[in-house]
Structure 1
Amino acid sequence: MTAIARNLDSPSSPLDAARAALADAPCSVWVTAQASPAAQRKGRYLPTSTAHPGKMLPAIARHAIDVYTKPGDTVLDPMCGIGTTLVEATHLGRHAIGVELEHRWAQVARGNVMHAHRQGAQGAATVYRGDARDADRIVNPELHGSVNLLLTSPPYGASLHGQVRSTRETGQDGIVKFHDTYGTSMGNLAHAPTDELLDSFTQILRSCRPLLADGATVAVTARPWREHGELVDLPAAVVAAGQAAGLVLVERCVALLAAVRDGHLQARPSFFQLRNVRAARAAGIPMSLIVHEDLLCLRVPSPRMGCPPAQQSNGAANAGGPLIGQVAAE
């Protein structure tokens, strides 16, 4: 267990240092989610993608790639799921590398990349199947040092994910939950206790370091959740993991999950979020609906740290760099 997972609330803990860094970091708001998640994916992703319980919003991935990279750059997602990061990168003329533990989702990600190419996406992409904690050994050594942006989201908060069918639809009593599991592999971090998740995420970032170019950006989406009534401050834990891996926090972005209508936020909560908030309020706890995700922007230290984010990419993986194949062996 790392120091991140130990004594999280002690005065000298890495989590407290991460919270202090977050308080001082520049902050921006991304007006993503102005279309519903279903509308963002319609026609752009294969129908089999729907079953994944924790998909990144395409608009968030697209905005991050557009801001932190330029055409010809390379984007990495070490926990790529259905391949949202890869699809949006290839549509924007970037190359992409994905690592996915579960065979099912690796296949879906490959299918989505091929679908993107059929729709005219110009970027090349590779999906490797394996544990992201071994990313430096899994990914082709020729690609080491070529990644300009690592964009990912760790699995978390099972209560936030999944779909439901009502009694009227199933003929059964109550609510039936489905599409709420990431997979069955024992190494899947979705099954891990919180301490192990944080420890493993630090290992993932360390394993990805050899792949990152000098000055590369690491962007991680995260949101807090409650476990047995206690708040798990995942955004601060992500920053602490990044700092333990030698990265520097440079920006905190508020990526909206709600629409902006007439100057007000229109929440798009899941069934479970609504149920949990209503139950908490009935118990006297003033809980509110989640209307955004934090996107924590960290960077590999370099002499150019003072440059604006969009100018940080060094072009190591442009047309003159090593090409990434569209299909990779497992």
Structure 2
Amino acid sequence: MTAETCHDQKGPLPSVLATGQRPSRLQRQGRYTRESMRHPGKMLPAIAAQVITAFTDPGDLVVDPMCGIGTTLVEAIHLGRDAAGVEYEPEFVHLTAGNLRHAHAQGATGTPQLMCGDARNIATICAPLRGKAALALTSPPYGSYTHGHVRSGRDNGGGSVIKRHHRYSADRGNLAHRPLPALLDGFGQILAGTAALLRPMGVIAVTVRPIRAKGELIDLPGQVIDTAARHGLVLTDRHAALLAGLRDGGLVSRASFFQMLETGRARDRGIPACITAHEDLLIFRKATDLTGADR
């Protein structure tokens, strides 16, 4: 059994999760529809599966307020959990629905619910689920563009680099189009609304990594922690979910073309940049659960 193998045995998460032993495309191959691969910013299935296994039992409800193409939902129903997701972009709702049908065709037993809407209103959209979720697992938007996919000169006969499937959203109403302070405010609203869906001692898990803007490294995990605190959530644990493989005591990079390109450009400007090798996995609980104020 490899470190990425999904097993339905609840238990504590290690400090470092070996979730990058296989590249993302291989984790998804055959488990997700081919058309959904074009989404430019996908959570690793191994991260979702390990978090769901650690914090829930079969039959529990798992929620993702910004479900993208449904990675959280797919891994949940494969593990016998029920799942509910909200997604703003109709195209991604369509892709999620396809992935959920595919999962059931492969024998997934959980029951999913999927809604198209603005997750800032999740407490209203998912009102019947209030107080029922054992876990919410999601990731904040990183902007209207992400790294996406690339065809390099090696792939197209020596021609120029062609970037594709890199636009997350063309809808100006999407939270991803907002500048970072407004984006974090919106994410705070989403966290607060999602917290209302949790059952007592339920968990919100957020995967997030630092980002660079105009060459400046931004501690997005730290800003998410501060944002969550302003909305009544307490950070109770922090893990590193590897985006790289472990081989013979060292890391095998899974860095994308664009990560390597931007890191090289930063180093050329004298900035000591490094390839991102992990996601921060932040675990939150409601302050009222920890203080007993609502009991």
User: When the two structures are superposed, what TM-score results if normalisation uses the length of structure 2?
Assistant: 0.90
1:206-217 aligned at under 5 Å gives the runs 206-217=192-203
Amino acid at match of 1:225: I
Deviation of 1:189 after TM superposition, in Å, equals: 2.2
Is this contact kept in 2: 1:274–1:289, CA < 8 A?
Answer: yes
Moved over 6 A (4+): none
Deviation of 1:49 after TM superposition, in Å, equals: 1.1
Deviation of 1:135 after TM superposition, in Å, equals: 0.5
Q: Deviations over 1:65-118 (max 9, x none)?
A: 001111111000000000000000000111000000000000110111111111
Query: Alpha carbons of 1:54 and 1:97: their partners in 2 closer, same or farther (altered >3 Å)?
Result: same
Amino acid at match of 1:245: H
RMSD (Å), alpha carbons:
2.0
Is this contact kept in 1: 2:145–2:169, CA < 8 A?
Answer: no
SS in 2 for 1:285: coil
Is this contact kept in 2: 1:167–1:173, CA < 8 A?
Answer: yes
Structure 2 distance, partners of 1:93, 1:204, is 26
Structure 1 unaligned residues grouped into runs of 5+: 1-25, 307-330
Deviation of 1:276 after TM superposition, in Å, equals: 1.1
For the pair 1:248 / 2:234, whether they are aligned, the reply is yes
Deviation of 1:167 after TM superposition, in Å, equals: 3.8
Q: Of 18, 36, 59, which residue of structure 2 is paired with 1:49?
A: 36
1:107-256 aligned at under 5 Å gives the runs 107-139=94-126, 141-156=127-142, 161-167=147-153, 169-170=155-156, 174-256=160-242
Structure 2 distance, partners of 1:116, 1:129, is 20
Aligned length: 280
Structure 2 unaligned residues grouped into runs of 5+: 1-12
SS in 2 for 1:239: helix
Q: Deviations over 1:212-261 (max 9, x none)?
A: 11111000000001101212211011111111111111000100000000
Deviation of 1:201 after TM superposition, in Å, equals: 0.3
Q: Of 16, 22, 29, which residue of structure 1 is paired with 2:16?
A: 29
Higher RCO by CA contacts (8 Å cutoff, separation 6 or greater): 1
Structure 1 distance, partners of 2:37, 2:165, is 8
Structure 1 distance, partners of 2:172, 2:218, is 23
Query: Alpha carbons of 1:169 and 1:262: their partners in 2 closer, same or farther (altered >3 Å)?
Result: closer
SS in 2 for 1:136: helix
Query: Alpha carbons of 1:303 and 1:235: their partners in 2 closer, same or farther (altered >3 Å)?
Result: closer
Percent of residue pairs identical: 50
For the pair 1:77 / 2:60, whether they are aligned, the reply is no
Structure 1 distance, partners of 2:224, 2:277, is 19
Deviation of 1:174 after TM superposition, in Å, equals: 2.5
Structure 2 distance, partners of 1:69, 1:151, is 11
Deviation of 1:266 after TM superposition, in Å, equals: 0.8
SS in 1 for 2:225: helix
Is this contact kept in 1: 2:144–2:177, CA < 8 A?
Answer: no
Structure 1 distance, partners of 2:268, 2:277, is 21
Partner of 2:248: 262
Query: Alpha carbons of 1:304 and 1:194: their partners in 2 closer, same or farther (altered >3 Å)?
Result: closer
Q: Deviations over 1:186-218 (max 9, x none)?
A: 222222211111110001111222211111100
Partner of 1:10: none
For the pair 1:95 / 2:82, whether they are aligned, the reply is yes
Partner of 1:295: 281
Structure 2 distance, partners of 1:256, 1:305, is 32
Is this contact kept in 2: 1:77–1:99, CA < 8 A?
Answer: yes
Deviation of 1:303 after TM superposition, in Å, equals: 5.3
Is this contact kept in 2: 1:250–1:299, CA < 8 A?
Answer: yes
